Structure 1
Amino acid sequence: MKNCRTRNYKTQMEAAKKGIVTPEMETVADKENMDISRLMELVACGQVAIPANINHKSLSPEGVGTGLKTKINVNLGVSGDCRDYTMEMQKVDMALKFGAEAIMDLSNYGKTNTFRRQLLEKSTAMIGTVPMYDAIGYLEKDLMEITPQDFMRVVRAHAEEGVDFMTIHAGINRRAVEAFRRSGRKMNIVSRGGSLLFAWMEMTGNENPFFEFYDDVLEILREYDVTISLGDALRPGCISDSTDAGQIGELIELGHLTKRAWEKDVQVIVEGPGHMALNEIAANMALQKRLCHNAPFYVLGPLVTDIAPGYDHITSAIGGAIAAASGADFLCYVTPAEHLRLPDINDVREGIVASKIAAHAADIAKGIPNARDIDDRMAEARNDVDWDRMFDLAIDGEKARDYFESMPPEDKHTCSMCGKMCAMRTTKMILEGKKVELYAAQ
């Protein structure tokens, strides 16, 4: 094993294959309390990705994949109907405050590179983008006028700016489209990038440029050590469409593209559903791991029911917890505004917390070392009725404190729900040999 401070490798995967310990590997091993040799083995075989663009100088690297804590991603960015970059930067602050490991800039209006550069300068979290979203604004061309070379220009621009991972919808090729057409879906294509590529393919009569020129994409990503996040253009948009021929057909293509990327030493994350009934989630996680050779799996939800607009952070957290406990490595948050509008700062907070809860619950379930330690400390604080310690340990301590202080109890060693009948108080007094007198205390 070599420890190398001069970079004689292109990507984290290449370094791992050569037995070189990178500074990014050292950081991740320390965060995960994992032996560096074991981490390097997982990076070398593709089961762990460390997205770390050579130009993202403020990054605090994170690992995504086998044996590591479940990571969460926060989506943000401007749209044509909401162009307030100041609010988007407030969302960035919120994401960093709550410890989100990744932020995806999904801006799809105007010249987005100024915001993205500010984001990269500020963010210690890894940054992801979807170049397909940015193509029309960046190139100032309508969809049908964009050439495959134009798409490559956008990919290179994002890589040069410092983006750590990019969603590339390379799997929606002509074979996958045929399977989609046969499936007879209720909701067709719900991926924004996937629908744009499908439209481009149909209007031009050409193959998906990200599939046809996949080697060119990989060369760009390898140059800057950008991780490819293979987008699921045919993910289900309702539970009726889950696990259909379109979704699985594309997943087979993504497995093939995963191996091709690894051959070029480009790290891979594979994206997954979507909307899916509870009883299908575990099987889908196992299927992805099998078809995509245990590459890290990144899921949006899955949302386990379609009838909860305004509460989809909850439907997503339910599905996300099951997915991560069953093998998913990376959860994309969903806010209460999903399916309704661009989320505001409060929506972002609710989405982050729900996703953090799901990720942490899954880490406990799959036995991530030390994951349960903080829960044990919370149990001790509750037993001692130590409110300040409880608030410090809580995922959202500010909200917990606000709730407690909004209706304060007479006795600080209780809360306003139980008062003198607090079970902790009663049991502790009896164990200490004291008498419990409730009526006199009323």
Structure 2
Amino acid sequence: MDSKKPPSIGALSGPGRLRVADDSERDVQALPPVAETFPSSQKIAEGELGVPFREITLSGGEPPLRVYDTTGPDGVDPRQGLPKRRAPWIEKRLRESDGNLSQMHYARQGRITEEMRFVALREQMSPEIVRDELAAGRAIIPANIHHPELEPMIIGRKFLVKVNANIGNSAVGSSIEEEVEKLQWSIRWGADTVMDLSTGKDIHRTREWIIRNAPVPIGTVPIYQALEKVKGKAEDLNIDVFLETLQEQAEQGVDYFTIHAGVLLRHVPLTATRVTGIVSRGGSILAKWCLAHHKENFLYTHFEDICDIMKAYDVSFSLGDGLRPGSGYDANDEAQI
């Protein structure tokens, strides 16, 4: 697997690459129009990039109140997926790519991408501030090049507070139809990002449906699917299985990955006196692997290999707090700190 090879333009624009219509027997429905959910509001698109906002009509005759909007295009058939609004921007950059397609890379070159201009208008800030915050590592735009349906957004300390919603199936239940509906209602009620934490059947297909219908960034915890590939046996995990899973999810268009690279072998014994132990699922998986092999966490030792995949697809990091406390008794203990 050549993780450093940038994706081809054909992978993005080829016929049917970003469609879910071949699964058309699925009974997945569009939500009611936004105007039915918010009867005193109307959606507007501002500027040449069509940045979405919602204007709320006020009862006292004052000018409409403009608010940030995450609801995405109205009335789209989920079996077709959302419009690929970013495709022309991405294809242009792919033609001149040096292998690093991250927004941070462009920001550090002094370039202002369409994604930066889009979020600048959304945040009511200048594109230069957006670029400078990205270059300094104080902000991210989670925007995988294989998620052209995305309406770009930014996370950082100078910008608006963002809210994440978690969805996902399990071995107990939930269908693709239910997961798409969870996604739709999450963004309808204002979620800025959505994490797919699926651990049940059809993980790949479920994620495809979610990404193709998501105007917001989609995140995952790749170690969950990697664990499924080794039949749930944490001790059978290895870096090859993990990188294969990472590449698969990056190809689909996942915008950010939670990576538990900070759970180190020497930290695991520090949890022995805890009342509630290790409550992070990812943290417990990697702690079990470290103890079984008495080796350092492979996500830590192969962090550069992970970075190679991330920068080739412009995937952002969410560094998982794998030893977070599960109770007040364990809070601020040595393992957490």
Structure 1 and Structure 2 fold alike (TM over 0.5): yes
Mapping of residues 39-438 of structure 1, within 5 Å: 39-140=130-231, 142-181=233-272, 184-248=273-337
Secondary structure of 1:239's partner?
A: coil
Structure 2 unaligned regions, length at least 5? 1-87
Secondary structure of 1:128's partner?
A: strand
Cα distance in 1 between the residues matched to 2:210 and 2:159:
26
Cα distance in 1 between the residues matched to 2:154 and 2:135:
13
* Structure 1 residue 28 corresponds to structure 2 residue 28: no
Secondary structure of 2:336's partner?
A: helix
Residue 46 (structure 2) aligns with: none
Structure 1 unaligned regions, length at least 5? 249-442
Equivalent pair of 1:17/1:44 in contact (CA under 8 Å): yes
Cα distance in 2 between the residues matched to 1:104 and 1:130:
8
Q: Which has the larger radius of gyration?
A: 1
Counterpart residue type for residue 229 of structure 1: S
Offset, 1:139? 4.9
Secondary structure of 1:34's partner?
A: coil
Per-residue Cα deviation, 1:115-157 (whole angstroms, up to 9, x for no partner): 1011111000100000111113245563322222111111111
Per-residue Cα deviation, 1:43-90 (whole angstroms, up to 9, x for no partner): 001111111000001101110012111101110111111233322221
Counterpart residue type for residue 333 of structure 2: D
Equivalent pair of 1:191/1:232 in contact (CA under 8 Å): yes
Equivalent pair of 1:110/1:138 in contact (CA under 8 Å): no
Counterpart residue type for residue 191 of structure 1: S
Question: Relative to 1, partners in 2 of residues 1:179 and 1:141: Cα closer, same or farther, differing over 3 Å?
Answer: closer
Per-residue Cα deviation, 1:332-383 (whole angstroms, up to 9, x for no partner): xxxxxxxxxxxxxxxxxxxxxxxxxxxxxxxxxxxxxxxxxxxxxxxxxxxx
Identity level (%)? 35
Cα distance in 1 between the residues matched to 2:147 and 2:230:
24
Determine which structure has the larger helix proportion and give its number.
Answer: 1
Counterpart residue type for residue 211 of structure 2: L
> What is the root-mean-square deviation of aligned Cα atoms in Å?
1.6
Q: Please say which of residues 201-210 and 140-149 is displaced more in the overlay.
A: 140-149
Higher relative contact order (CA 8 A, sep 6+): 2
Offset, 1:187? 0.6
Equivalent pair of 2:197/2:220 in contact (CA under 8 Å): yes
Offset, 1:165? 0.2
TM-score calculated relative to the size of structure 1: 0.53
Number of equivalenced pairs: 243
Offset, 1:178? 4.1
Secondary structure of 2:118's partner?
A: helix
Cα distance in 2 between the residues matched to 1:160 and 1:139:
21
Equivalent pair of 1:11/1:222 in contact (CA under 8 Å): yes
Counterpart residue type for residue 80 of structure 1: A
TM-score calculated relative to the size of structure 2: 0.69
Counterpart residue type for residue 20 of structure 1: R
Question: Relative to 1, partners in 2 of residues 1:141 and 1:240: Cα closer, same or farther, differing over 3 Å?
Answer: closer
Counterpart residue type for residue 227 of structure 1: S
